[in-house]
Amino acid sequence: MNTNKSQMPVVMAELDVDVIIGMDFIKNHDLSIDIKSNKMTVQGQTIPLNYTGSTGCYRIVLAEEIDVPPMSEVIVKGSISQPGIKIYQQGLVEPSESFAKLGQRIVGRSLVTVDECVPVRMANCHPKFRRCIKVSM
C-alpha cells in the first residue's frame, strides 16, 4: 500500500488521459517509470502501473491533395492507412524517417485526438506553393 503523500498546487483540466506527470514533479519526488516492467518507483517505493488500451505505430495518409501556400502552416485531414483500424484516443503524429528525408514539407510533431480524421500539421518553408499528395507519413 502506498503511504507516501505529496502536496503541490495543480490546475485541473478535463482530459481523456489518465495522468500527466510533469518533469518538475518527477525530479522533486525521485520518481522513475519502468515501462517494460509496468512499475513506477516514488522515493524508493515501487508501485505497479495499470495500463489498458493498445499501442501501435500507424501510417497516416492525407485525405486529399492540398496546395500549401508559401511560408505558411496548415492543418490538413489525414486518416490511418490500415483498413479496419479504429482508434479513439490521443496519439502522437510525427513524420516517418523516409518522409522527413524528402525535404519537401515539414510535418510538425503534434499530440492529437484521433478519430475518423487525424489532424496533421504541415509547414511550407519555401517561397512557392507546395502540393501535398496522398502519401503516407
What type of residue sits at position 29? Answer: H
- Looking at residues 5-9, what average pLDDT do you find? 60
Mean pLDDT for the stretch of residues 93-121? 77
Give tens-digit pLDDT for 8-54: 565 555 555 556 677 888 888 899 989 889 898 989 999 888 766 56
List the one residue out of 46, 48, 50 whose CA is nearest residue 4.
Answer: 46
Would you place residue 72 in the very low, low, confident or very high pLDDT band (cuts 50, 70, 90)?
very high
pLDDT at 69: 92
Phi, psi (degrees; rounded to nearest 5) at 91: -150, 165
Domains of the chain, first to last: 7-52 (no CATH), 60-132 (2.70.40.10)
Q: Is residue 98 scored above 80 in pLDDT?
A: no
Q: What is the pLDDT of residue 52?
A: 62
Residue 60 has a pLDDT of 86
pTM confidence score: 0.55
What is the reported pLDDT for 136? 57
- Distance of CA 19 to CAs 30, 46, 49, 54, Å? 17, 17, 11, 16
Rounded (5°) CA angle 13-19-107: 80
55 or 97, which is more confident?
97
Higher pLDDT, 121 or 101: 121
